[in-house]
Structure 1
Amino acid sequence: MGLIWWILPAIAAVIGLMLLFAGFGKLAKLKAGSGAFRLTFGVAFLALAGVVAFAGLNLQTYQRLTKERYAANIKFEAVEGEENAYVLDLTFSDGRKLLEENGAQPILRGNEFEIGAQVIKFKPMANMLGYDSIYRLDFIEGRLSRRFTPEAVTEATTNGIALAANPGFDVHRMAQEQGGRFGIDAQYGSATYQPMGDGFEYVVNISQDALIARPSEATKVLIQKQRYPGYSSTQESSQ
């Protein structure tokens, strides 16, 4: 689909140039009427080529800067007999599962989870040329959503697990220190949080600069039921 935005203006430009040269040829033969006619249409086609080209560039720029890539899938299952405790089923984009050293799935406690990543971002022009941001999922943690008070600074605990280990050469740190010279921005990370609950499932995507955790349609209904007891979806109501 992207090529059409280059093919159309190229065709219009070729037609416009042909008409311009034909118009100049007519003027050179002292045929003012037909020469002016061809020149007018030649300029019109060139203008059309420019408009289509700029529109295509704008559209492709938007698509590049808003591009999202799949990063992980997250599911939760309640731990029987324990409140606010959930078995975490996390699948990375390459199909790997997150497991503890003993091979068991981790357990997160709380009613909310947060997942974070280190992000190395390229400048917008580099994105347009095909250089997508680079990321590494860093951690996932469980916590209570109402763990602070508005009256004073309070302490709170979280529980979680690291999703990556530094293999030795820290690319992210190098990008932070030297990346500015090459149009690279690695001065920040990105994190997103959502409610935890039994049967909740999320798809985590990474845009050019941020993580996004989107609940499945079934999870949206479960969240609404959790917030508003008695809630029923349109589909449930029609059944």
Structure 2
Amino acid sequence: MDALSPSLWIAVAAIILAVPGLGMAFGSRGLRPLRRLLGLALVALSLVSGLLAFTVYRYLQLFEDRQVAIIELKQEGPQRFRATVVLPPGPAGAPQGERQFVLSGDAWQIDARVLRWRLPAALAGVPSLYRLDRIGGRYDDIERERSVLRTVYALDDDPRLPDLWVLKREFSRWLPYVDAQYGSATFMPMFDGARYEVLFNDRGGLLAKPADEATAARLRQG
């Protein structure tokens, strides 16, 4: 946690309130009722401050981006590219490896399924879940997009893995803590040597940005 984060300062204030409050409320038995009542009020205020600190911390987490893929492109012909998709390590550091796809078009597009949570799961800090669904090429020209054969590939093609997104749709009343399920997508131009980073944000879903300065410079040129 950043030392300048508002949630940290609120948490410090909660501790400062709690220490004298506990002493006044549960210290010597000879304390006056008014002093004990003041101590209880300080303890209650510290608890509220602690809850506020956690809420602010969770809110700030919504703006943190999680890397979900690296996409590298190599041109093989006019509007034809080989895309290497590198996925980050999975649970317990299990490697996800890399996959290659041949994409046709002017840009690549990646889609994901997203699940958000209701209280109390959201308050407990359970992050939104994403599941990469597919990657494909797209043309800038709508008519060409309609007329040519599209190149689309599944990124999640293992039938052994349970799909909570589908389970929520089929058995919604049995999954009360799942708040919303929706699709999210992002796309970027394709050119030889391009390298992109795909991120997931709890607030905005998928987004992509250049993974190196060469790609960023090429995008600035238009």
Q: Report the TM-score, using the length of structure 1 for normalisation.
A: 0.69
1:65 Cα offset (Å): 3.4
**How many Å separate the matches in 2 of 1:74 and 1:179?**
34
Match of 1:161 in 2: 153
Match of 1:196 in 2: 190
Alpha carbons of 1:156 and 1:54: their partners in 2 closer, same or farther (altered >3 Å)? Answer: farther
1:7 Cα offset (Å): 6.0
Pick the structure with greater CA Rg. Answer: 1
**How many Å separate the matches in 2 of 1:144 and 1:121?**
31
**How many Å separate the matches in 1 of 2:32 and 2:181?**
61
Of 53, 69, 88, the match for 2:50: 53
Match of 1:85 in 2: 80
Of 205, 208, 213, the match for 2:202: 208
SS in 1 for 2:142: coil
Alpha carbons of 1:215 and 1:128: their partners in 2 closer, same or farther (altered >3 Å)? Answer: farther
1:57 Cα offset (Å): 2.3
**How many Å separate the matches in 1 of 2:38 and 2:177?**
43
Task: Give the aligned residue type for 2:198.
Answer: V
Q: Give the superposed CA RMSD.
A: 3.5
Q: Report the TM-score, using the length of structure 2 for normalisation.
A: 0.73
CA contact (8 A) 2:134 2:155 kept: yes
Of 215, 218, 222, the match for 1:222: 218
Residue by residue, what CA displacement relative to the aligned partner does 1:112-156 show, whole Å, maximum 9, x if unpaired?
A: 11100122322264133132223221111111123259xxxx935
Task: Give the aligned residue type for 1:159.
Answer: T
Query: Normalized per residue, which structure has more strand?
Result: 2
1:78 Cα offset (Å): 1.6
Match of 1:183 in 2: 177
Alpha carbons of 1:202 and 1:128: their partners in 2 closer, same or farther (altered >3 Å)? Answer: farther
Q: Percent identity?
A: 28
SS in 1 for 2:121: helix
Residue by residue, what CA displacement relative to the aligned partner does 1:204-237 show, whole Å, maximum 9, x if unpaired?
A: 1222361121222422211111x1xxxxxxxxxx
**How many Å separate the matches in 2 of 1:22 and 1:168?**
59
CA contact (8 A) 1:142 1:159 kept: yes
1:90 Cα offset (Å): 0.8
Q: Which runs of 5+ in 2 are unaligned?
A: 2-6, 90-95
Q: Which runs of 5+ in 1 are unaligned?
A: 29-34, 99-104, 228-239
Q: How many residues align?
A: 206
Task: Give the aligned residue type for 1:97.
Answer: E
